[in-house]
Amino acid sequence: MDFLGILCLLILATTLAGHFAHRAGIPAVIGEILVGVIVGPAVLNWVHLTTLVQTFSDIGVVVLMFIGGLESNLALLRKYLRPAIIVAIIGVIFPVIIMGLASRLFQFSWFESLFIGVILLSIMIAMMGGQGDVAQTNLGVVLVEQVGFFIGVFLVIKWVAPYLMALSDHLLMAASPTIMAIIICLGLAWLAELVGLSGAIGAFFAGVAIAQTDYQHVVDVSIEPVGYTTFIPLFFVSVGLNMTFKGVWQSLPFIVVMTVLGVLTKLWGCGLGAKVNGFSRRSNYLVGAGMISRGEMALITAQIGFSAHLLSNDYYSDIILVIIVVTMIAPFVLKNAIHRASQMTATHSTIEDN
């Protein structure tokens, strides 16, 4: 089957899968991953991860992160910076320690255990050279380059992006602001990869930069249809195409333990962060429940780590299954948290009325 036929099949299948996933009350990405599993080597063996499919998938990650940056609200972040940082830090420490140590019990290497618990990909890839072994890379030089990159990001957000976006209004091209935004996105993604970071990080900050200009809405409404009709679904399909169920029964204890810990470490860790900030008990539960879902970011992290050989083929499918199950559990835990909070509010209102 040539690429156009594959593309037609995958877009049709992901559209239907996303529709039925929404009807079932689960994220559409789960349906899109299942499409990759079903049509890929794991089940029907119709579609394989060719160079073109992988390229579309890579673009999908960049576009997805760019859209995430576009939808970021720095003003709101600055307003709640302290609680956000505390919740985020504790919400990372818990999975790193607990899930990392639990992974060691299943005979994972220290690097693989750390990867399972954390998202510090830039440092890990620099240390391992993207080849699964400790590389001769000078970590100090890499960190200096990355600091320089983030200084450059600040300059782009503050001055470069607003100037270029204003300049785009004078270009005699259709959709010139969107074209300029894509140039900024691809440019920062490329620079991020040059300094050992993921291109997804550069794309995200490009989105943040555009979000601070007057062109946010124009770019957003132009980019989203392109991303969500083609490139982003193919990213999630590629996740499924890489999966295999070989040895899944032997890995079942690991999958179960990691799923339970994946829920509890975020629920407890982020809930503790909320408690440190002086939130009420019901608010702690709400914050923790809301942070359980790894969703798109966890899948992006898994793919980047897999491509950089931080995670072996033997465990890739296990980790993806854990992410999928945790993502499916998260809405139900959050729904329960909201229901309990509503009940407590109603009870307090009744007591005050009496």
Residue scoring higher pLDDT (194 or 345): 194
Q: Can you give the pLDDT at residue 187?
A: 96
Q: 238: which 2 tokens?
A: 């590629």
Q: Which tens digits make up the pLDDT trace of 139-191?
A: 677 778 888 999 999 999 999 999 999 999 999 998 999 999 999 999 999 99
Nearest in space to 62 (alpha carbons), one of 51, 70, 73: 70
Residue 132, pLDDT > 70, answer: no
Token pair 């929404």 is found at 22
Q: Can you give the pLDDT at residue 292?
A: 80
Share of the chain above pLDDT 90, in %: 44
Compute the C-alpha angle 314/13/68, nearest 5°: 75
The CATH-assigned architecture of domain 3-348 is Up-down Bundle (1.20)
Q: Which tens digits make up the pLDDT trace of 25-52?
A: 888 999 999 999 999 999 999 999 999 9
User: Residue ranges per domain, the chain?
Assistant: 3-348
Residue pair 140/339 in contact (Cβ under 8 Å)? The answer is no
Q: 233: which 2 tokens?
A: 């679904």
CA dihedral (225, 227, 230, 232) positive or negative: negative
Q: Three-class SS of residue 309?
A: coil
Instruction: Compute the chain's Rg from CA coordinates.
Output: 21
Residue pair 269/75 in contact (Cβ under 8 Å)? The answer is no
* Weakest-pLDDT range from 148-152, 211-215, 292-296, 344-348: 344-348
d(CA 69, CA 88): 17
Residue pair 129/137 in contact (Cβ under 8 Å)? The answer is yes
Q: Which tens digits make up the pLDDT trace of 158-169?
A: 999 999 999 999
Residue scoring higher pLDDT (241 or 248): 241
Q: What are phi and psi of 172, to 5 degrees?
A: -85, 60
DSSP string, 47-62: ----HHHHHHHHHHHH
Residue 84 host element (H or E): helix 81-94
Q: 296: which 2 tokens?
A: 């798109």
d(CA 342, CA 282): 10
d(CA 280, CA 290): 15
